[in-house]
Every structure is written in structure tokens, then in C-alpha cells.
A = this chain, B = another copy of it.
Amino acid sequence: MAVTIRDVAKRAGVSPSTASRALNGKGRMRPETRARILRAARELGYRPNVHARGLATRVTGCIGVVIAARHLPVERSFYGLVLEAIESTLDQEGYHVVFSVLRDQSPPKCAQEGRVDGLAILGTDIGPELVLPLRKQLPLVLVDHAIPGVDSVLPDSESGARAAVEHLLSHGHKEIAFIAETLADPSFARRLAGYREALADHGLPYREELVAEGGRRPQSWRPAMEKLLRLRKLPTAIFAANDSMAIGAMRVLQERGIPVPEEVAVVGFDDGDLAPYVTPPLTSVFVPRWEMGEVAARRLLELVRGEEPRARQVMLATELVVRRSCGCGGG
């Protein structure tokens, strides 16, 4: 049997309730009594029982992190780093992470069972019909997704996309394609919006035929690129909604002997781990994934602690990282 608060109390010569107060730093008490109790706890290696405490306080000390199955495998996912950042931030505050994959559109079990005090939801595959009822149950923060009235943290995709396209425009490109896995994903849709804005700002028309989706299959860049390759005239630049599409596009181009960036420039989005290592190194829009996780975790802690109930949407700055795939000389 593990050491309980009664053992600590007995050893310190006080009652369990006094021990409880000392251990939790609540109420006033004589410093020496407190010290005696803390010492006893230390000597005994006392660890409060999570369940007993949870039962009494209705607090779990856990935050659920939910990711949709579509974003798996974690190791290739945009959200891997976000997960780590959340874990790291919560760990420092004594909270734990319950990691859970959403395989269908039913609410995560960890929330249903009351195992967590709050929820971070990664990605856009979880709609309002699921989120809104959940939000009434417990604090909740969306990461990389926005639903009105719900706390969220996401990157400034539009500005990032605009910066990318403007960079290509400044290279003199006039025919810039946009490719994405799917435009049904709001995150990618925002990148498309930025692309359109940049074109419009420069008086260029938006041309449907230069926009291609690949679908959610693996290697989804192939169908997208096929559409572009069927054009009478290849665009001189491709802006991809994420790095994986960009790298796939480069692969297809190189397979056909089309040199990148000489014939076709390529710019990606996310600035993931691979970007510096592909050939040529990929120019990409940096997304502060770690920071997204950190901000989400901190917000969740605030909510769990009952502060500031008004929903807040945090948008983090992105930044174009110039390498060589856009035609610049850099690293």
C-alpha cells in the first residue's frame, strides 16, 4: 500500500486535514508546523493519489490532445512538433497529456469519460457539430483551425501565401500555379486566398487552370502535377500549399528533365524539416509549429484555471524562408 496523507499526518503529529492544507499551501498555518509536515512527506516519499484528489476536487491534471486519423502518421505530420510543444509546456505546469487519435466523428473518449480537464484539437477535420457540444463540457482550444466562438491558434496562412507569391512575382513570374492536397481543408483554402490576393494586388488574373488539387491519397502531388503538365504552356512557377506537395512537384519536374528552378520555380509552405535538405533546397513559408503548441497549451491552462472565459483567436506570424528552389542564390 502506498503512503497516504494519513501516514504523513501521523508522522508529523497532526491531523490529515492539516497535512492536506500544508501540502496544498492553503490557508494560514504556523510555519514550523508546515515545515514539519513537508519534511514528513518528503521522508516518506509521499505521492498524493490522483484519483482521490480528482474525486474530491473534480480536477484531473490531464489535458487531452486529439488528432484526426487523417494527419497520421505523426512522424510525417505537421502536428508532431505541436504535440511535443504542448507536452513540454504542460509538463512544466504539472499537467499530463492524454494523446488520442480521432478515428471517427464521435467525441474523444478521454473527454467523455472525464479523464481530462481540457482538450487541444489539432487540425481541421473536426467540425462545429462535434466541437460546439464538447466546448460546453470542457475548455477547448483548436490548433490550426478556427470555429467562431471557440478558442483557437493558427498561423497567418494568408499573409504567408501572399509573401510567397509576391516573392515569385518579384522574380518576374507571371504564370504562377497553386497546388494543394485539397482545398476542402480550410487551412489550404486560406493559402489559396493569399495567393489570389497577391495576384490581384499586382493586377494579374486568377486562372482556374493554374490551380490543381491532388486529393488526400499518398503521393497526391502526381494528379495535381498531371493537370499542370497538360497545359499548353507550363507555368514558370509553382506555389504549393505545403512542403510535401512542393517536394513532390519538384520530383515530378525533375523526372521529366525540367530543371528547378531554372525552368520552373517552386515554393512550399510549412518550412518543415525536409525543406533545407531537398535538392534544390526548398524556399518555403515558415510556420511556427512549436509556438502554436505552446500558445495553445498556455491558453488551455488559463481556461482550466477559470480565467478569461471569452474566446480568443490567436494568429501567429509566418515568414518566407528563401532558399534556392525559387531561383534565388541562397542556402
Contact = CB atoms under 8 A, between A and B. Distances in A.
Contacts of A81: 73-75
B110 A96 contact: yes
A55 B51 contact: yes
Contacts of A215: none
Nearest to A95: B109
Interface string A167-203: 0000000000000000000000000000000000000
Contacts of A205: none
Interface residues on A, range: 35 or more
Interface string A80-94: 110110011001001
A113 interface: yes
A62 interface: yes
A115 B62 CA distance: 10
A100 interface: yes
Contacts of A113: 47-48, 50, 61
A311 interface: no
Chain multiplicity (copies): 2
A51 B115 CA distance: 8
B54 A72 contact: no
A91 B100 contact: yes
Contacts of A112: 47
A98 interface: yes
A97 B96 contact: no
Contact of A75 (B61, B80, B100): B80
Contacts of A114: 2, 47, 49-51
12 contacts: A47-B112, A47-B113, A47-B114, A50-B51, A51-B55, A51-B60, A73-B81, A73-B84, A75-B81, A76-B273, A87-B100, A96-B100
Interface of A: 2, 47-52, 54-55, 60-62, 65, 72-77, 80-81, 83-84, 87-88, 91, 94, 96-101, 103, 109-110, 112-115, 251, 273, 277
